[in-house]
Amino acid sequence: GENVEQHPSTLSVQEGDSAVIKCTYSDSASNYFPWYKQELGKGPQLIIDIRSNVGEKKDQRIAVTLNKTAKHFSLHITETQPEDSAVYFCAALDTGTASKLTFGTGTRLQVTL
């Protein structure tokens, strides 16, 4: 099955700086890569996703890049704000076993003033 590794596990940045979270996956057949944000006391919420037919996708301050050859994808947050502080999860769709998502272990992002 699919295996997703995520780094770093914690990340602290100053407000206004950029943050980058990286994930690698093992199954070359995976074709969908979402990113979820989990705020304190809430369930994860989708913030951006990318499909394997594109290399990059942007939504305001958030962007995701995908390198299919290297089997890794990254989340980029620019001009970070305190409300970006949360736990972020990457995931890959395991097409081999009836379309279930395999999640990374999460990154706790802390944006300091």
Residues of this chain that interact with another protein (CB under 8 A) are 1, 6, 9, 31-32, 34, 36, 41-46, 49, 51, 89, 93, 95, 98-106
If the CB atoms of residues 4 and 111 are measured against another protein, the closer one turns out to be 4
What is the nearest approach in angstroms of another protein to the Cβ of residue 16? 29
Question: Before 82, cis peptide (omega within 30)?
Answer: no
If the CB atoms of residues 8 and 16 are measured against another protein, the closer one turns out to be 8
If the CB atoms of residues 80 and 102 are measured against another protein, the closer one turns out to be 102
- Tell me the residue type at 13: V
- Tell me the residue type at 39: E
Q: Is 60 exposed, middle or buried (0-12, 13-18, 19+ CB in 10 A)?
A: exposed
